[in-house]
Amino acid sequence: RRLQTIAALIWSSIIVIGFPLGCTIFLYLLWTSQVRWILWPYIAWIIYDFNTPFNGGRNINGSICLHVRNWQIWKYFKDYFPVKVIKTADLDSNKGYLLGSHPHGFMASGVFAAFATNDKDLKEIYPNIKSRVISTSNFFIIPFIRELITSCGYISCSKSSMEIALRNGKGLIHILIVGGAMEAMDLGDHKDVLKLYLDKRKGFIKMAIRTGVDLIPSFTFGENKLYHQFEHPWLKKIQLVFERIFGFVPLIFFGRG
């Protein structure tokens, strides 16, 4: 149980402080002459690899993805909640799929555990089908964090990126959390009704029709109750401004493991 708690803490820390920490470390190494040389190979790699999440993603069957998605820490993370994938229909491995998932929750923990790791539940249910998660493009410019999520199979949610991925997605499920950042603000067990954000978010349906993939609905039960959010009218205004500028929302949350 302690290992599971540590795994959950590590993932939470990556999401909460990954952006400022990754940028801080990168800038420190860049401006510190004694260690700047360490960064040059990484900068060269970023330039070489920059378009990967915007061009279909890293090879899901390649050694990098297989290695990272098989890390033992992800099994501990999955078992902490626990996360279980429930099959409701058979899927043809000769077709491609776009899975629209709700709710977003604070960190989309269920989607990550089920679809961004080599989870045994998914492999047992659909042995010949792989999965990718589609996320905001902003995450792919964060130093160091981008390497982790691209190695877990994440790709950008930009229109061109999704079209490339879906047109070449035979035997793949692409998971899109439709509500995005706006849905992430609606969490907590004080909510009697779960609000799903679909208005002005119907482009994924057109994308599925255009690329010829099947649409699948998915729901992560309990996702919105993992954490409680501090709410205040002024905080909500700041969050909305932040979402319009950066594409994601800073949340002030609390909870207990």
β-pair partners for 178: none
Using DSSP bridges, classify how beta strands 253-254 and 228-229 pair: parallel, antiparallel or unpaired: antiparallel
Instruction: Tell me the one-letter amino acid at 152.
Output: C
Residue 252 CA to residue 20 CA, distance in Å, equals 15
Q: Going edge to edge, which strands form the sheet with 97-102? A: 155-156, 130-135, 172-177, 97-102, 214-219
Residue 26 lies in domain: 2-254
42, 81, 138, 182 from 113: Cα distances, Å: 28, 10, 21, 22
How many domains, in total, are found in the chain? 1
List the chain pLDDT tens, one digit each, 257 residues. Answer: 789 989 988 888 887 788 888 888 888 888 887 878 888 999 999 999 999 999 999 999 999 999 999 999 999 999 998 999 999 999 999 999 999 999 888 788 999 999 999 988 888 999 999 999 999 888 898 899 999 999 999 999 999 999 999 999 899 999 999 987 777 777 655 556 777 888 878 889 999 999 999 999 999 988 887 777 777 677 777 777 777 776 666 666 666 55
Within 10 angstroms of residue 102's Cβ, the number of other Cβ atoms is 20
